Amino acid sequence: MQDEISLIDERLSLTLGSKFLNTNFTTLEFQPSARLSWTPTARQTIWLSFTHAVRTPSRAEEDFNLSGYITTTPSGLPFFARFNANEDFAPEHLNGYEAGYRRLLRKNIYLDLTGFYNHYHDLFSEEIAWPAFPETSPSPTHLLLPAQFRNGLLGATTGIELNIAS
């Protein structure tokens, strides 16, 4: 749902909205967004915006196990890693911030300059769960490094975009 609210007629507006998401893998997720736009002249617009987005877990993070061969140890023992599913895998989150400026240079030619900062948290990670140990089943005996899908990463992106379009 979304609504645009005129604060000063044809000069200042606030757009508020949200998506609501409920899946088999999450509880209700609220994903709000807001944009404040100021049009000081008929040829210019300045805006600030915020958005919150969610990537929900999938069956792969909560139900899928993955084993893979790493190498053979010097003693000849095969060495494998196994990534175990995590039924408590959480949604990944993004908080995005943007500021921008648009100017009409000539008829149908616009200049857009936008700066952004995005903060991501609870991102997918594969983490070592325990030290490696010998495993006898399935045969033959091999060394196993257990790991688990988790939400152990975070990140950020920043940037500036310049666009001239007609």
Q: What is the pLDDT of residues 2-58, one digit of tens each?
A: 999 999 998 999 999 999 988 777 778 899 999 999 999 999 999 999 999 998 877
What residues contact 53, with CB distance under 8 A and at least 6 apart?
A: 31, 93, 94, 96
Domains and CATH numbers, the chain: 2-165 (2.40.160)
Dihedral sign for Cα 67, 134, 87, 124, please: negative
| pTM confidence score | 0.79
In DSSP terms, which residues pair with 7 in a beta bridge? none
Residues in the chain, overall count: 166
Q: What is the pLDDT of residues 92-125, one digit of tens each?
A: 999 999 999 999 999 889 999 999 999 999 999 9
Question: In 3-state terms, what secondary structure has residue 69?
Answer: strand
Q: pLDDT grade, residue 85 (50/70/90)?
A: confident
The residue type at 163: N
